[in-house]
Structure formats: C-alpha cells, structure tokens
Amino acid sequence: MFEVLVFVYENYWRGDACPEPEQLGRKLSAHGFDPEEIHDALQWLDGLSLATQGLQIERDANDSHSATVRLSAPAEAAMPQSSDAMRVYSQAEQEHLGADCLGFIRFLELSNLLPCGLREIVVERAMAAPGAPVALDELKIIVLMVHWSTGIEPDALVLDELCESREG
C-alpha cells in the first residue's frame, strides 16, 4: 500500500489535483500495481479525505510553510489546546505505532511542525495502516500524505527528514 501512496504523492502535487478514486485506480493498475494494494491505498486515501474535510486551515501570510490547523466543531465544543497540554496515547495506539513512531510524532510536535489537528489525523491514519507496529518510514509517508491532502507544504528541512529512508 505504501508504494502506491508514494506514487500518488510523487505524481499529484496536491490532494485536490488527484483524480477521482475510480480513475486513479485505473491509472495505478496501468502502472502495474497489485489490485489488492490499489484497493487498500484507495480505501486509505478515502479515509484521509474524510479526516481532512473538517479542517480549517489558516496560513501565515508571511510564511507559506506555516499554518494553524483547527478541527471544525460547534463553537461551544471547540477549545484551543493549551501550550502545556499533553496527548495521552491509548494502549492500542502505543502498540500499533510503537516507540519509534511515537517519538517521531513528538519530535514533530516539539519542533512546531505538526499542529495538534494534523497530529490527530496522522495518528488516526496510522491506526488505519496495516502492520503493527507501523514502521517509521511508513509513518513518514503518512505525515507526507496528511500534509499533501491539506495543501500544506512542509518546509525543505522537514521534507528532507520525511523523505529520508533509514535503509538508505
């Protein structure tokens, strides 16, 4: 599935430039991807699309890489996250993500590279990914795809870190 996601990321500059699932499936099939991988990737992308529908993204006018992300919710339910708030991961999340991925997510948060709204989408999409624990390289693809789907382009150093493979 992750090879298909990388192909989509590399060939469609933003989520809104990606063709509809049926047409994308035909293109992926024409490029020789396994039908099961295509099916899994299309389901995962559909979940990503649903997860990002409720986002309100406010871009910083002075920095094209900086954005504030808020989840849409009724005004009475929306509470901004405190700067000293802490995300507690469930047992299932800890087992599925593993220590490496949880540490990387925390690194991105502390570096102000993954706002809490996007973090939650990354965690949700990682939980929807096969394999336990999710490999760090797979998590990096998930982070890239979440940024891709929202149209938020990570800065060059972050992009280098996300594209760097441990194997390479």
Please report the pLDDT score of residue 168 as a whole number: 44
The tokens for 79 are 């509470």
For the chain, the first-to-last Cα distance in angstroms comes to 20
| Residues 136/164, Cβ–Cβ less than 8 Å | no
Question: Which pTM does this prediction carry?
Answer: 0.80
Query: What whole-number distance in Å separates Cα of residue 106 and Cα of residue 65?
Result: 19
The pLDDT of residue 72 is 47
- How many Cβ atoms sit within 10 Å of the Cβ of residue 131? 12
CA dist 26 and 20 (Å) reads 10
Could you tell me which of 30, 35, 27, 37 has the C-alpha nearest to residue 4?
37
Give the pair of three-digit tokens for residue 45: 């992308």
Which residues of the chain are modeled with pLDDT < 50?
65-66, 70-78, 168
Q: What is the pLDDT of residue 77?
A: 43
